Structure 1
Amino acid sequence: MDTQTLDIPIPKNETEDVMNEGSLRPITSHSTKRYENRTLVETFAMEISPGLFTTSQEPEPEYLAPLWSAHVHPEGQLYFFREGPLRVVTEAYLYHVETFETVCGWIARIEHLLADMKILISEDIELFVEFKGQDCAYYFVDHATSAQFWLEKSDTEKLDLPYVASTSQLKIVIEELYWVHVEHFPMHLHALPIQKLEEIIMIFSHGLCDQMTSRVSTFNYSASDCKVFLDLLRGCRDSMNNGHTTWIIARLWSIIDHNKCLTFYGQEHSRLSRNQYVLWDPEQKHRWVSMIMAYSTFNTSERHRARLDDVFVDHMVYVDRWAQLVSDCLKQWKASKSGAFAGLALHIPFLVLNSPWPPLLIVSSALLSSTLGSSILLDHAYEPMESLSATDAMNYLESIQSSIFNFQCTAFAFSLPKALLLWGYLILLVNYLLLVTNYRGSGMAAGVAGLALLVVLVLYGTTSTTFRASWSNGMSLFCRGSNVSSIQIV
């Protein structure tokens, strides 16, 4: 159906008639009450007659008016479909006479509106209605164009839809709504076009290849998930007339369209990698705070801040990246906890030998004990979050993101166990050097300190990319200088 008809206003007299007994309002397939039903089921003891459910004695079917049929969604939701000039679906329980009469009354009013507005209805058009009190919520879908539409003008804000950058992106949003409708009501539909199945198979094939060859793929499923989905979709080729197959294809198409909106697919500025900002300015505020935190935590907080920023680009969260972030943090906190136990065990010699400076011993013990406590608390708080969905992870990150400091404070909290551990070991090393000085002299202590410093420099030089880059640049400059000198001598 031509979407230009959406701009036709509802006649004033019809609006007034409808408002007398409730209002007609547009909704989307995302904003229905489908998953909000909190009604309790009443169960009771029922008599079972001999031979019930056998071919010779079928139970009496519940009555439905002509053209109406009942269908059960694969998830178990009962819904009703009316065949006719205007196809209708609803989740209202039509076995109740009062509900059925209300549904028929609103359908008649909507058909009257369509006639007054001279909107032609084809067999590809389907109406959805939902009721709350006297009000009727509705939307139309067009199976020919894979679109959802309404009778009056509206906008994305009123319909609780995301902001868009162009009409072409709005079309993707509308198509996602269509597939959500098909996902909710798949059992009465004819088989989907085989082209839709083949197209989504190729989309997941591309996603699989992209995930396997790129660390910043914008596809929203991992390589292992893509393989599972591809096997599932290829198995659907022989059962296109099955409602379950329709549901599978519709569910995956709605997810693909949603991801297209997030990546600004086909727009002037599309997102080509997960770490690419297209909506918000990634400029970091209050760099001096990050510098102080970085120096006080041996740069641990800066690494956590960078990872939190990376997993929350444009307020978008990929569930595999979030799970990997939490998993790595849990491993680090577990390692810090083990290191704290070992560090506290290294304090045992001081129970036998008198410490030259007891306050330092108290400080190192307090730091390592704090490492142990902070590791346990963080592990307890974040272990359940490893399995969060992308939406839940996004909501959580939005709740902890500061408008002033962004993720700097959170990153500092994440870095505390390791930072406290390193500070604790540093103070413990000073304690041991003072102990060596007390029993073996300052020369031996200086030798031990020099050896410890050498070990730290070697470890830092072999693990720090910044150090190695600076060393390589320095050696290159030295070599170029030597070559110039030798040429001049010749």
Structure 2
Amino acid sequence: MDVQKSSEFPGYQEKAPGTLRPVTSHGTGRYDTSILVEPRPRRIPAGLFTVSQDPEPEYLPPLWSAHVHPEGQLYFYRDGSLRVVTEAYLYRTETVENVCLWIDRIQEILCSTNTAVSRDIELFIKLEDDDCAYYFIDHANRTQFWLETSGTEELGLPPVISISQLKIVLEELYWIHVEHFPMHLQALSPQALDEIIGIFSHGLCDQMTSRVSTFLYTVRDCKAFVTILQGCRGNMNNGHTTWIIARLWSIIDHNKYITHYGQEHSRLSRDQAILFDPEQKHCWISTIMAALTFKTSDRHLTRLDDVFVDHIVYVDQWERLISDCLREWRRSAYGALSGLRLHLPFLAFNAPSPALLAVSVAAFGAGLASSIVLAHKYEPMEGINATEAMYYLETVQSPVFKFQPLAFAFSLPTALRLWGFVLFLSNCALLIAEYLGWKFAVGLVG
């Protein structure tokens, strides 16, 4: 490789390098910035931005150009023997010096290791005080790579079961890079567009014909995406089109990873568990909770397990789960209010068992309160995305009892309402027996 020194910037000085570390497209912290800016009033010269009054252009070193991501992020691209992209603000002299220093250092490493660099290779660098994070992109093979051997755990990547699955993970990282830096790139190939249209068309058909499809989008979403992608034809030279295709490709590759696409044991339905889980469920806890909740907790436990198979959440299943729970809790709230109203006649008649009366009133009151609390907590969660739902379920899942505690909490409004009616009817039976005799009361209950 022909090493081209990037230290042509005036005022460049050698300085002691820091640490060069590998990073992934996921780990750049692109969306984690906490820097605050303070807008201030400014005078506007007469005729600013007209042909005769263009402002003085900001200076960039040779080979560099500035680009703006569709979301608004400014980034810089170097079209040299080694193509480079960075989000470092190169309109500052000291930043340019640091970037040029790190590019020179990386080029020296490439030369010393006889690593060939073609026009399909692109380097990303991120300045971190005295250190630098980096990764390489291979546009020809749709992959991401580094100069040293690293483990998936060190790079923050998920575990894999084969080299072919690792290739899917690295391809996802490639598309994330293209999504983050689309404006300087040449048009993507028509094959990339045709292939992803085919994938979404298949997903649309699969969702329409199967209740347990592993495709991550609903029928409505698939139709919208196919329409958007078909509209990209004839506009492939636009950076916004590149961003659209790259964003959707990264999502598809992630879905391929979680379904074990192309592996010996792939996930063919969303309710199919294929990952080894050494934890065993505690059946005795399930039996006790089922008895206390009239088997309502078992129903909720089944739904929670079904929506979180192998720690994967599909947004339509999550929305359906929360929507059904909210309806159930509202019905329980109305039932609890009706149960409390039924106790009004006992104000005119002395209850045969004041203890039963107090406990039934407490059960109805607790059922009403639990309905209100659960509805208040989970109503905002009805519209969260699949990733947020997955993180939430991971935090609330017990390492020992799994979803048993959460299923019990979900079943409380219905169970307390039912216990309230059982105790209320018992008090009614005692009242009937007191006035009409036990035989009549037993016969009426029977």
Q: TM-score, normalised by structure 2?
A: 0.94
Matched, 1:152 2:169: no
1:174 aligns with 2:189: no
Give the deviation of 1:84 after TM superposition.
Answer: 1.6
Residue 101 to residue 283, structure 1, CA distance change in 2 (3 Å): closer
CA RMSD of aligned residues (A): 1.6
Letter of the 1:221 counterpart? Y
1:370 aligns with 2:380: no
| Cα-to-partner distance string for 1:225-256 (whole Å, 9 max, x where unaligned) | 11111111111112111100100100000000
Question: In structure 1, what is the Cα distance between the partners aligned to 2:148 and 2:216?
Answer: 34
TM-score (norm. length: structure 1)? 0.86
In the TM superposition, what is the alpha-carbon distance from 1:446 to its structure 2 partner? 3.2
How many residue pairs get aligned? The number is: 433
User: Which structure 2 residues correspond to residues 321-360 of structure 1 after superposition, within 5 A?
Assistant: 321-360=317-356
C-alpha contact (below 8 Å) 2:301/2:407 kept by paired residues: yes
Instruction: Output the amino acid matched with 1:281.
Output: D
1:106 & 1:338 partners in 2: Cα distance?
67
1:282 to partner: Cα distance: 8.1
**For 1:370 and 1:269, how far apart are their aligned partners in 2?**
47
2:408 aligned residue: 412
User: What is the deviation of 1:447?
Assistant: 3.9
Shifted more, 440-449 versus 222-231: the winner is 440-449
1:399 is aligned to: 395
- Give the alignment of 1:45-444 within 5 angstroms: 45-281=41-277, 284-444=280-440
Give the deviation of 1:324 after TM superposition. Answer: 1.6
Aligned equivalents of 1:188, 1:96: Cα separation in 2: 21
SS at match of 1:238: coil
SS in 1 for 2:233: helix
- Deviations along 1:329-359, whole A, 9 cap, x unmatched? 1111111000000011111111112222222
Task: Kindly provide the CA deviation profile for residues 101-140 of structure 1, in whole angstroms up to 9, marking residues without a partner as x.
Answer: 1111111121122122222211111110111111111111
Runs (5+) with no aligned partner, structure 2: 1-13
Quick one: structure 1 residues 398 and 444, their matched pair in 2 at CA, closer, same or farther if it must change by over 3 Å?
Answer: same
Q: Distance in 2 between matches of 1:271 and 1:115?
A: 44
> Whose radius of gyration is greater, 1 or 2?
1
- What stretches of structure 1 of length at least 5 have no aligned partner? 1-17, 451-490
Distance 2:435 2:230 in 1: 76
- Structure 1 partner of 2:3: none
Where 1:202 maps in the other structure, the secondary structure is helix
Deviations 1:418-439 (A, max 9, x none): 0010011111112222222333
Summarize deviations over 1:118-177 as a string: whole Å, max 9, x none: 222111111101111111111110111111111111121111111111010010001000
Q: How far apart, CA to CA, are the structure 1 residues paired with 2:180 and 2:316?
A: 27
Equivalent position of 2:39 in the other structure: 43
Tell me, in whole angstroms, the C-alpha distance in 2 between the residues paired with 1:98 and 1:363.
Answer: 74
Instruction: Name the structure where helix makes up a greater proportion of residues.
Output: 1
- The residue type equivalent to 2:293 in the other structure is T
Within 1, Cα distance between the matches of 2:431 and 2:227? Answer: 66
